[in-house]
A and B are shown apart, each in its own frame.
Chain A
Amino acid sequence: MNKIRTQISTLVFILCLLLSPLSRASAFDLIELDLEITLNQPQFSFSFDQLNQPKTGFTLFNPEEASLQLASAFLPSLGLLPEEDIQQGFVLYDGTLYLEVAANDSQSGRATLRTTYRMSVDGRQLERAFLRNLFVRQGRYDDARARVRARAARLADARVMRFVEDENGGGRWVRAVRALSTDARANIRFMPRMEPDGVLGHYGYNVDVDGNAFVWAVVDKNSRYAVGLNVDDDNDGVFNRDDNCRNSSNPDQMDTDVDGLGNECDSDDDGDGVEDELDNCPLIENAAQDDVDGDGAGDVCDLDDDNDGVLDNVDACPVTFTGSVVDAQGCSVDDRCPCDNSSGWKNHGSYVRCVAKASEALLEVGLLTTAEKDALVSQAAQSKCGHR
């Protein structure tokens, strides 16, 4: 058999792409590494243009010009091994870029290696059906949930993940966030639309004039990197891009005042100028904060404004004086027989007869005692109501 040798100075690259996307979620997939070269230059760029993936590739910086053996692969379908776990909500968007570097010379190091990955985004993958199928294939979601996530997926939520190995030979995916100038880890914010600037951990996305979309990231050393959408910080099933509370779980996305801030994280849900904590109706606009019965629930949201035990929707007398005894229609004796009758009483006797009748009705249903009824009638008789 002939031995294959590759040289940077020529354009002979050994490329082999496993182009067959997994047709079944449970399929065996043996993948051959795509590119193997010997590098002894300060910089090397490679593009997977031949894979119909414009702007998918990497640039490797090797300032020490160490002699390095490079192997890389682009895995266009699932790049995770079955035993690997990732942050819930993270979705492999376009595949995995795998880069492995070995120093040919034991004196050579990898410490100064920096790589910029660029991964194109197939526009087709923004299609809901494609993404939904991808999510289902990943085995994390059922079809209904997958549809929800697919609808919310956006390029702007792209992230870069790095596979970190553990002592036991396993590992996990974490965000690629290491800063260049310090060993301390820092959460570097997502910065869209910036070109790679060589600072580790920066990542972003671009859409060029031709409409080709790609995400990029500046990462370090060699490892496996995946570019994807980390779209659900609060794991509430709603992608960040569409989540009106990114850091508070609110699956229902309730936004009463439609100000773009979900109720879960909005301090004034109804936008009436009264903070929720002080608002006697936090979900209904009531700047005046009316509360007839003083029970702490504003009238606009109080189902029983007069707190007489008869709900407002069936209360014929919705503003009964607090503490009054009411009948089944929510009306007290005073409601039935107001002293200040706008239409006027025929005479004082009419008023007293009204009070007697109303209180008798309450006596008959046991809401008043005889003594209480007598007291009411006596009070009415001694009043000036109905006098002209």
Chain B
Amino acid sequence: MWPPIVSCRGRGAFLLSSLLICIFFFGCALHKGQPTTLAIRSDTSKSISTVLLSTNSARRALLRNAEVTSGIVNALPENVKIYIMVNDKDAFVIGNNPWPDRIEFVEIEFEKSITMWPQDPFLVLKDENQTVLLASMNFERASDELMAQKIAEVTGYKLRKSDLLFEGGNIVSDDTSVFIGANTIRQNARHYQMSDVEIALAFEEELGKRVLVVGPLPQPVAHIDMMMTPIGENRLVVADAAAGASIVEKLLESEPQVVKDFEKHCEEYFYGHPAITEVLGRDGTMLRPPDLNGAAQKMISKSKELAPLLDKIAESLETYGYEIHRMPFLHGGPTSEGGENMPQVSSPSFPMLTYNNVLQEHSQSSQRVYVPTYGLSALDRAAINVWEDLGFETEPISGFEISAMYGGALRCAVKVLH
């Protein structure tokens, strides 16, 4: 059972519907100001010291990410400790490892499948004295639910199972607030036959910070960390689909071959190499990469449709006192099914080109952001410029175009533990 819920009736208006965008603020008295108890780790913390990645092999999964793993390891500072979770270590060889003490492999049984998204199955709570891994009550994506347990065994961090259902990618936070996608609230509300308000309050109690629920329902982007990023000091970066569409549209007019080459590249490298044009599925069917010819134009149109929603979200957040900055974004990723339920991945398609799905470090003298890039230079460059204009040192990490076809990027692939 979850902890007692503090009633906050009358403290805030609550409307969640598919028509109205609402940012719901639960500012219960118990949690005003800086959290003093165990609280979810902030995305705007000072520095990253320990992270978890996970790596697939072709013997287990369609999406390969050994190269992306290498890229992340090499981009992060050398003093960052890295755990790499694998379930098929024999499928890899380490070509070079200049930091044998820094990188540690955590093996999961071969029979268990894992994805490359350790962001989602659990959250990291911290106070001055301890780190606690908070696992979702249930997590039914491959065997990812084992991730928290395995990493807790290796690190010695405490592990606790929450009474709530969540995915880490649909939750972002800064030092004072935690932003949760509306899908997560509604999913729990349905599970427990309770109101959205009560669920939001439960999250507040669980995560130790005031909660802002980001709608609408269903979410236009499956995880909010693909479309919004707190950057501290009451600032938020929100995806701008109109800007992204405009950049790619201009590119399509001025250099159509560049876009065509990008589409072709994503198709050819879908299974890791152009020579692999099909693979045999478990059920005996032959699987082929999605046809992306002309997909960029479709994504431009979809992005233009999405743009007003994202603009509304940005406006709503502004009314809560946040300083909003916009980031180019091009819609893509797998098609989602289900309305208010958690989106079910159907099939990958044109990559979701998001530059919000980042890692950050904030020190007294500087701010650094690790940004995923995809190989569409005009858009990559525009996004890097925005981050730099915000005063960040930027560290681009390339190779995310295939994972973005499945709807995931950098933050999805890295769980910051400390």
Contacts and interface: CB of A to CB of B under 8 A. Distances in A.
Interface of A: 1-7, 12-18, 20, 22, 24, 26-33, 36, 50, 71, 73, 75, 77-82, 98
Contact of B96 (A3, A14, A29, A73): A29
A232 B282 CA distance: 52
B92 A30 contact: yes
Interface in B232-252: none
Contacts of B19: none
A6 B98 contact: no
Interface in B51-104: 55, 57-62, 64, 66-67, 69-70, 73-74, 84, 90-100, 103
B1 interface: no
Contacts of A71: 90-91
Given A15-B275, A20-B67, A50-B275, A4 B95 contact: no
Nearest to B59: A4
Contacts of B64: 16, 32
B69 A30 contact: yes
B280 A28 contact: no
22 contacts: A3-B282, A4-B62, A4-B279, A14-B276, A15-B272, A16-B66, A16-B272, A18-B70, A27-B96, A28-B98, A30-B66, A30-B69, A30-B70, A30-B73, A30-B95, A31-B93, A32-B57, A32-B66, A33-B93, A73-B93, A75-B95, A80-B96
B287 interface: yes
B9 interface: no
Nearest to A24: B74
A90 B272 CA distance: 32
B255 interface: no
B147 to A, nearest CB: 15
B166 to A, nearest CB: 22
Nearest to B280: A5
Given A1-B61, A12-B280, A29 B272 contact: no
B153 interface: no
A18 B279 contact: no
Contact of B91 (A6, A13, A29, A33): A33
B191 interface: no
B29 interface: no
A82 B97 contact: yes
Interface of B: 55, 57-62, 64, 66-67, 69-70, 73-74, 84, 90-100, 103, 113, 115, 142, 271-276, 278-283, 287
B96 A13 contact: no
Contact of B275 (A7, A13, A36): A13
B272 A22 contact: no
Contact of A27 (B69, B98, B103): B98
Given A18-B66, A50-B273, A78 B61 contact: no
A12 B279 contact: yes
Most buried by B among A26, A32, A79: A32
Nearest to A29: B95
Contact of B62 (A1, A33, A50, A77): A1
Contacts of A32: 57-58, 64, 66, 91-92, 272
A28 B73 contact: yes
Most buried by B among A2, A15, A22: A2
Given A2-B279, A17-B273, A29-B94, 12 more contacts: A1-B60, A1-B113, A1-B115, A3-B282, A4-B58, A16-B64, A16-B271, A32-B57, A33-B91, A50-B274, A80-B96, A81-B96
B68 to A, nearest CB: 10
Nearest to A33: B91
A interface, over-half SS: loop
A77 B70 CA distance: 14
A225 to B, nearest CB: 14
Most buried by A among B55, B92, B275, B282: B275
Contacts of B96: 22, 27-29, 78, 80-82
B70 A28 contact: yes
A160 B76 CA distance: 37
A78 B280 contact: no
Most buried by B among A5, A12, A15, A16: A16
The list of the 6 closest CB pairs from A to B, nearest first, reads: A29-B95, A16-B272, A50-B275, A26-B98, A29-B96, A2-B281
Contacts of A13: 275-276
A7 B279 CA distance: 10
A83 to B, nearest CB: 8
A5 B283 CA distance: 11
A338 to B, nearest CB: 80
Contacts of B98: 26-28, 82
Nearest to B97: A28
A111 B337 CA distance: 55
A22 B96 CA distance: 9
Nearest to B105: A30
A191 B84 CA distance: 45
A3 B64 CA distance: 13
B81 to A, nearest CB: 13
Contact of A31 (B66, B73, B287): B66
Given A4-B58, A18-B66, A82-B98, A98 B93 contact: yes
Contacts of B92: 30-33
Contact of A81 (B67, B94, B283): B94
Nearest to A16: B272
Contacts of B275: 13, 15, 50
A284 B281 CA distance: 79
A272 to B, nearest CB: 54
A81 B59 contact: no
A12 B142 contact: no
Most buried by A among B55, B115, B276: B276
A2 B62 contact: yes
A82 B113 contact: no
B104 to A, nearest CB: 12
A82 B98 CA distance: 7
A4 B57 CA distance: 10
Contacts of B59: 3-4, 36
A18 B96 CA distance: 13
Contacts of A75: 93, 95
Nearest to A10: B280
Contacts of B278: 12
Given A29-B70, A29-B96, A1 B91 contact: no
